């Protein structure tokens, strides 16, 4: 995102975090902007969706992007542990309590609002600075308050990695608070920058407006309405005059309901797919067959809100509403995007995404090839995929299990299986354990990058 140094830095004097009379809350990387006044207009609110696949997760991290370097456990198991039930109806996030201080050191207070406090914090494993918005649970008195927090986290998780949007790191819950860790934007609010600047040239104003419009475009393209855009809810990545502008405060935001009369009568737009998704498709093409199948298992177990934006993209490309994307639709869609790919390259993307080899890309295949690669950093997804191949629950994927799974998709030729085992089986015991499987899945996923 360009605003966080890889070196440990001292706590900055961050403007824009202080509560200001007349606005009544903390706006910058702080407590939810909308909680003061938002319970009266949720006409588009999507009810929270349960995550049945999370019952299989090995530890509570439902709302964490897991893009931080993993914290090594005290004991490294040689094979996957039996999954523990994770959903907890007595908590707001539905998980067991998880201490944010195990991952971050909280520093000075940056701001205070009606629902809680924002702190400067440092990631223990890297020394990188972030902002931690700590929301007091005793202030969340109604069911709607709790649903709003869950939805805000889901939307931030969905949008993270996109340009001009504050990066989300993870959410944690303890007995007293819900903690949201996100990118630290040291330049403060756009509102304060405008007041301090006093005057903008047409060129400078156009640059700011372009960034704001880009946020609107990204949100709508990803199936989200922000619903609270104003200068107080845009942050500057640094104090530099040309610092990147970032949107924050998704407390009023909702997922777009496609069945709403205003939405369902629309037509597919001219721009069906963005460059980030195209990049993911290219990377998918280069993956080995085991990794592609594992991603398909993960895609099939993602919750509705996790794929809301990709579903919109699929619908945009599927111009004849057939439920699958043909070669011509992919070629036309990429051309409308302005892609310079040759016909050979388009065919290669088509063949890579078409896992079952039927000549078209169906919905699950599209999600598999285009989903954000931070899914590969989340243990509950990796464990679920490993279990799919490890049919006898031995903690290892044997040659026979690999061959059986791959033959279901016409991939089980001897050469492919030998190549996969040779590549993944680093201890050369002729089978793939959980650590080897995770290493394969996470290879090529760079921290903090959008893939």
Active site residues: 228
DSSP assigned state of 189: B
Cα–Cα distance for residue pair 123/89, rounded to 1 Å: 29
- Categorise residue 428: left if φ over 0, alpha if ψ from -120 to 50, beta otherwise: left
Rounded CA-CA distance 31/143 in Å is 18
The H or E element spanning position 191 is: helix 190-197
Task: Write the DSSP symbol of residue 395.
Answer: S
Place of tokens 């991952």: 103
3-state secondary structure of 214: helix
Q: What CA–CA distances, in Å, run from 285 to 332, 351, 372, 420, 440?
A: 19, 8, 15, 15, 15
Q: Which residues pair with 291 in a beta bridge?
A: none
> Hey, is 397 helix, strand or coil?
strand
CA dist 232 → 46, 155, 239 (Å): 26, 19, 16
246 is in an annotated binding site: no
For residues 154 and 306, give the distance between their C-alpha atoms in angstroms, rounded to a whole number.
Answer: 7
Angle at 383 between CA 381 and CA 386, to 5 degrees: 110
DSSP 8-class letter at 174? -
Binding-site positions read: 137
Binding-site positions for ATP read: 137
């Amino acid at each position: 995102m360009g605003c966080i140094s890889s070196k440990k830095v001292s706590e900055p004097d961050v403007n824009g975090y202080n509560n200001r009379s007349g606005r009544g809350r903390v706006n910058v990387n702080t407590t939810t902007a909308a909680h003061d006044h938002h319970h009266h207009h949720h006409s588009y609110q999507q009810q929270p969706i349960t995550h049945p696949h999370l019952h299989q997760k090995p530890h509570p991290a439902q709302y964490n992007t897991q893009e931080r370097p993993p914290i090594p456990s005290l004991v490294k198991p040689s094979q996957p542990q039996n999954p523990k039930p994770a959903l907890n109806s007595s908590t707001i996030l539905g998980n067991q309590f998880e201490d944010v201080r195990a991952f971050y050191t909280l520093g000075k207070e940056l701001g205070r609002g009606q629902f809680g406090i924002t702190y400067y914090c440092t990631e223990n494993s890297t020394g990188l600075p972030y902002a931690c918005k700590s929301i007091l649970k005793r202030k969340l008195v109604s069911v709607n308050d709790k649903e709003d927090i869950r939805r805000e986290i889901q939307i931030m998780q969905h949008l993270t990695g996109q340009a001009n949007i504050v990066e989300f790191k993870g959410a944690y819950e303890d007995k007293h608070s819900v903690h949201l860790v996100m990118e630290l934007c040291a330049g403060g609010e756009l509102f304060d920058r405008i007041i301090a600047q006093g005057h903008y040239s047409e060129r400078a104003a156009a640059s700011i407006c372009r960034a704001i419009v880009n946020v609107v475009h990204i949100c709508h393209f990803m199936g989200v309405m922000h619903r609270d855009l104003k200068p107080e809810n845009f942050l500057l990545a640094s104090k530099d005059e040309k610092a990147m502008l970032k949107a924050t405060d998704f407390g009023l935001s909702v997922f777009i309901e496609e069945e709403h009369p205003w939405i369902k009568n629309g037509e597919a737009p001219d721009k069906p797919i963005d460059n980030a998704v195209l990049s993911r498709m290219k990377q998918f093409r280069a993956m080995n067959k085991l990794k592609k199948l594992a991603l398909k298992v993960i895609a099939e177990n993602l919750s509705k809100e996790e794929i809301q934006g990709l579903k919109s993209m699929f619908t945009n490309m599927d111009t004849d509403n057939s439920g699958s994307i043909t070669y011509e639709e992919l070629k036309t869609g990429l051309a409308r995007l302005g892609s310079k790919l040759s016909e050979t390259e388009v065919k290669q993307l088509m063949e890579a995404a078409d896992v079952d080899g039927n000549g078209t890309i169906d919905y699950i295949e599209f999600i598999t090839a285009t989903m954000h690669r931070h899914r590969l950093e989340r243990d509950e997804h990796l464990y679920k995929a490993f279990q799919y191949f490890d049919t006898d629950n031995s903690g290892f994927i044997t040659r026979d299990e690999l061959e059986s799974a791959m033959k279901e998709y016409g991939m089980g030729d001897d050469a492919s299986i030998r190549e996969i085992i040779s590549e993944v089986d680093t201890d050369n015991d002729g089978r793939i354990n959980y650590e080897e499987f995770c290493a394969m899945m996470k290879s090529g996923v760079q921290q903090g990058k959008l893939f």
